[in-house]
Structure 1
């Protein structure tokens, strides 16, 4: 059976969050978007994020909404196709108002760097050298 991952993130302003993630190249499914939530497509058909207004998010859970700028709730890790894609997405995020919580980490076989979005959610971007996977698998 084919699975999809859809996760919800509470945001202060749905439109500002849509603009932020649009500037990184993500698109949105208007069929599942309105003024209270927007479905962001990360990988067509398999990974989406619902950017949900804090009040709507709280109505779904009945719990207080964690303030991601004050405490870590989750780190969302996305793989990238190249070192350049990692650098480009981080650069776009910073230009759109995000920040980098740590410098680029280069392990030779893997590069990672992240960004914090407008609401403080942490996104880690990783590129792993395909040649290193082949080498590790044969050991």
Structure 2
């Protein structure tokens, strides 16, 4: 069985969320979307369920984190090239996202074996961090 990953995220404004995620090139599966959630298709095996904060709260027993104030998770998405990485960042910024400053540089031989990597990070309108990372083939 091929496994899928579904990232569930609390959001304040589904319209802004839709503009951001479709703006970076993802699609929305309307069959699983309604006025409380948005099913974003990142790839055939990766989905984001963006849920209104009240709906999201129905699935947890702990407080819902405000991603503008605290980081609970760092989502990392692989990219095919430096150019694709830069294009993703540009699209994210143009569609309501924000730059996320790295505490370390990800440009050059930075992997454990000296791999050539290039990365950047953005946040969606709700502050959820999306790292985009290109790793050059060995």
Q: TM-score, normalised by structure 2?
A: 0.89
Higher RCO (Cα < 8 Å, 6 or more apart): 2
Partner of 1:34: 34
What's the CA shift string for 1:65-111, capped at 9, x where partnerless? 10000001100000011111100010111112211122673124110
Deviation of 1:47 after TM superposition, in Å, equals: 0.6
Aligned position for 2:106: 105
For residues 53 and 63 of structure 1, what CA distance do their matches in structure 2 show?
16
Aligned length: 130
Match of 2:133 in 1: 126
Aligned equivalents of 1:16, 1:95: Cα separation in 2: 12
Match of 2:21 in 1: 21
Gaps of 5+ in 2: 110-115
What's the C-alpha RMSD, in Å, of the aligned pairs? 1.3
Note the 1:1-139 alignment, pairs <5 A: 1-44=1-44, 46-102=45-101, 105-108=106-109, 109-130=116-137, 132=138
Unaligned 5+ runs, structure 1: 133-139
Deviations 1:33-56 (A, max 9, x none): 001001100112x11010010000
List structure 1 segments (4+ residues) > 3 angstroms apart after TM superposition.
none
**More helix per residue: 1 or 2?**
1
